[in-house]
């Protein structure tokens, strides 16, 4: 019984660590853009494939 519980604990720990690391990677590399006109930074906007971001006030 102790072996199964330990395996579940290790699997859960590894899964949580992987989710945290992949979330950190996404936050650093996939989000956060700067408007090309007013140069204001928006941390919660997904980076576009190509081109720049234009904020609502500059449109």
pLDDT tens, position by position, 7-52? 999 999 999 999 888 888 887 888 889 999 999 999 888 988 888 8
Contact 54, 37 (CB under 8 A): yes
Contact 18, 10 (CB under 8 A): no
* Number of structural domains found in the chain: 1
Confidence (pTM): 0.56
Helix (H) or strand (E) holding 31: strand 31-34
Q: How far apart are CA 28 and CA 3, in angstroms?
A: 38
Helix (H) or strand (E) holding 42: strand 41-46
Q: Domain span at residue 27?
A: 2-58
């Amino acid at each position: 019984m102790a072996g199964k519980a330990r395996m579940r604990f290790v699997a859960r720990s590894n899964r949580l660590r992987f989710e945290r690391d992949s979330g950190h990677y996404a936050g650093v590399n996939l989000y956060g853009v700067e408007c090309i006109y007013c140069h204001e930074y928006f941390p919660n906007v997904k980076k576009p494939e190509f081109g720049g971001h234009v904020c609502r006030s500059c449109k």
